[in-house]
Amino acid sequence: MKVLSMKHIFILLFSLLLIPLALVSASDSDQEQRLLYVATPGIRNLLEYGGHGVLVFDMNNGHTFVRRIASSGFDAQGKPINVKGICVSVSLQRLYVSTPESLISFDLTNDEIVWEKNYQGGCDRMAISPDGKTIYLPSFEKDHWHVLDAVTGDVLARVEPQPGAHNTNYGANGKEAYLAGLRSTTLAIADTQTHKIIRHIGPFGGSIRPFTINGSQTLAYVCVNDLLGFEIGDLTKGTFVSRVEVPGFHKGKVARHGCPSHGIGLTPDEKEIWLCDASNHCMHVFDATTNPPSHIAPIPVRQEPGWITFSIDGRYAYPSTGEVIHVGTRTTVAVLADEHGAEVHSEKLLEIDFVGRVAVRAGCQFGLGAVGVK
């Protein structure tokens, strides 16, 4: 039997000590990260609310700041211009951010810009297909949408349903896109195979602002001009259903968007509707299981809210004012702050989950219902 020298014994013991460290390292690299991506300036072009770029926050660690991704998007004088929309393709590992002038594609694996392209009529709040291959990109309040190849940014088609192209949603089944114009009282639905308008929903009580849809694509909940509340439309019949006003609150002057309710979202389980109230600096929660939806509670926020979305699991609500609100308790559990400790506000944000540097799922900038959605 060969006797080991002290040198060999030391090497063996050192190697055994390294094994648990290697296992910990491998475990850490395989652990799923839940990250919140926030594009700024996401409140007009106001740099005091997070500066310029895409800010990343750790959702598993109190929404602490992780890093800032450098972006483009500058005007002729070299000043950052405001972000209009954000979406993700998990299949392509791409992040997309729009400004009034261009659409920017980032590689999620290394944070590098892949391409930036300008389009006739500019860009607004886009939506991406569930398979991550096609983008419906509205012009900047003109009368058309461009349909894009998400890989290259090339234009595949042009859709012209109504004036004031603005907010856009893609149905969970991938077969329909929902197109809202700032100067239209109807919501247009496009067939995503032919890229033709197949029907309109409404008319509603005013021009349509932010809107959301349920997972089965049967109902739309829309904000309209001059309403502290929302309206409901039947997506299958194409008809207006009802008007819901916020009880006990009065609309007043607002600094942004020109309407008291600019922002509405369904919790993923579709049990609640969350509505922005810019006039009174709060979010309103409605019970979506009643007909009509009934008001449950107001939640104060620190400034005018102009947008609302949710984490993929529905645990957190993200108003544009930067609070992180626990949906179950309706309490603020964190506030978004940048690397300098300054407040971060944005209407353009969503969750992306990673294993290592590979994105495995992504949320949506809109608070869309997810019941029945795979």
| 118-172 pLDDT tens trace | 999 999 999 999 999 999 999 999 999 999 999 999 999 999 977 999 999 999 9
Position 305, amino acid: P
Say yes or no to pLDDT of 21 above 60.
no
| 22 vs 71, residue with greater confidence | 71
Say yes or no to pLDDT of 202 above 70.
yes
Say yes or no to pLDDT of 214 above 60.
yes
Minimal CA–CA distance to 80: which of 38, 41, 115? 41
Say yes or no to pLDDT of 359 above 90.
yes
- Comparing 19-33, 52-66, 311-325, which segment has the lowest mean pLDDT? 19-33
**What local confidence, expressed as pLDDT, does residue 161 receive?**
74
Say yes or no to pLDDT of 7 above 60.
no
Q: Which H, E and C letters describe 228-286, residue by residue?
A: CEEEEEECCCCEEEEEEECCCCCCCCCCCCCCCCCCEEECCCCCEEEEEECCCCEEEEE
- Residue positions counted in the chain: 374
Say yes or no to pLDDT of 207 above 80.
yes
| 23 vs 253, residue with greater confidence | 253
**What is the average per-residue pLDDT within 55-80?**
95
Minimal CA–CA distance to 125: which of 153, 164, 165, 85? 85
**Which residues pair with residue 290 across a beta bridge?**
none
Strand 282-287 and strand 272-277: the pairing is: antiparallel
Position 57, amino acid: F
**What is the average per-residue pLDDT within 190-212?**
97
CA distance 174 to 307: 24
| DSSP three-state, residue 352 | strand
Q: What is the mean pLDDT of the chain?
A: 93
**What local confidence, expressed as pLDDT, does residue 75 receive?**
86
> What ranges do the domains of the chain cover?
33-362
Say yes or no to pLDDT of 260 above 90.
yes
**What is the average per-residue pLDDT within 9-21?**
38
Given CATH 3.40.50.2000, say whether it is the number of domain 33-362: no
Q: Name the DSSP letter for residue 2.
A: P
**What is the average per-residue pLDDT within 358-367?**
98
| Six-digit token string for 133 | 């291959």
Q: Are 251 and 269 in contact (CB under 8 A)?
A: no
Say yes or no to pLDDT of 23 above 60.
no
pTM greater than 0.85 (yes/no): yes
Output the furthest CA–CA distance in the chain (Å, rounded): 92
